[in-house]
Amino acid sequence: MAVQSQAKMRNRAKSTNQRNRKHCIIANLMETMALAYDGAIQRLIDAFAHLPGIGPKGAQRIAFYLLNASDEESQGLIDAIAEVKEKIRFCDICGNVCETSPCPVCADPRRDHSVICVVEEPKDVMSIERTREYRGLYHVLGGVINPMANVQPSDLNIAKLIERLKDSEVTEVILALNPNVEGEATTSFLSQLLSQTDIKVTRLASGLPVGGDLEYADEITLGRALAGRRAV
């Protein structure tokens, strides 16, 4: 067979393959679209899929679980969501979530009011409380400095922290932020800011995995890190 006709056959086979692949992609797409549920159930799946840590399959599983759950159980969930949206607010002093401001920690006279532990999120307060190593107060920043996500120091609960330190009995501030890039940048920013005051500034000791998250640290590791904090 001539070289030219062999090349023609190869090109024809190639274009047939491309056409087949295109048809295959379109067929898959149509199949996926057809697989979407109708109306309310799909809206519920989409709502769950937006939640952190829940993928499309998990969202589908929860939606169908609720579909089969008793009216009492599903109403309990609806009420819990409505109640949390209605009642939960941020403490005017520390920024933690609470039902009444000041929160129970800020209002507790048995706590050590000379120490403030600065954390990123309310869930970090719970992580430190679980260590049972700490009896001081907290300050929740509501995030960390993250230029990539356009989070600047002015977006965080820092001004209130500075305000809190004026005319107060606070002698030490513990910077307990996550040991990742953003947490380190925020620790550095705050330690520089607080170096202008007479207050002792400490941070959690090593022992936590780099790039990790306080939420997932076990109590012993977090407790040791807290006990071994050092000045910056």
| Residues near Zn ion (CB under 5 A) | 91, 93-94, 96, 102-103, 106
Residue closer to Zn ion by CB (options 129, 218) is 129
Cβ at position 157, least distance to Zn ion in Å: 11
Residue closer to Zn ion by CB (options 111, 229) is 111
Residue closer to Zn ion by CB (options 91, 194) is 91
What residues have CB less than 8 Å from 153, skipping those under 6 apart?
Answer: 145, 189
Q: Which tokens sit at 145?
A: 């400095």
Q: Which tokens sit at 165?
A: 């330190």
Cβ at position 208, least distance to Zn ion in Å: 24
Strand partners, 118: 139, 175
Residue closer to Zn ion by CB (options 94, 170) is 94
Residue closer to Zn ion by CB (options 95, 179) is 95
Q: Which tokens sit at 142?
A: 């509501």
Cβ at position 162, least distance to Zn ion in Å: 16
- At residue 137, what are phi and psi to the nearest 5 degrees? -100, 175
Cβ at position 91, least distance to Zn ion in Å: 3
Task: Pick left, alpha or beta for residue 223 (phi over 0 → left; psi -120 to 50 → alpha; otherwise beta).
Answer: alpha
Residue closer to Zn ion by CB (options 102, 143) is 102
* Residue-by-residue DSSP string for 90-155: E-TTT--EESSSS-HHHH-TTSEEEEEEEESSHHHHHHHHTTT---EEEEE-SS--BGGGTB-GGG
Q: Which tokens sit at 207?
A: 């022992």
Cβ at position 93, least distance to Zn ion in Å: 4
Cβ at position 106, least distance to Zn ion in Å: 3
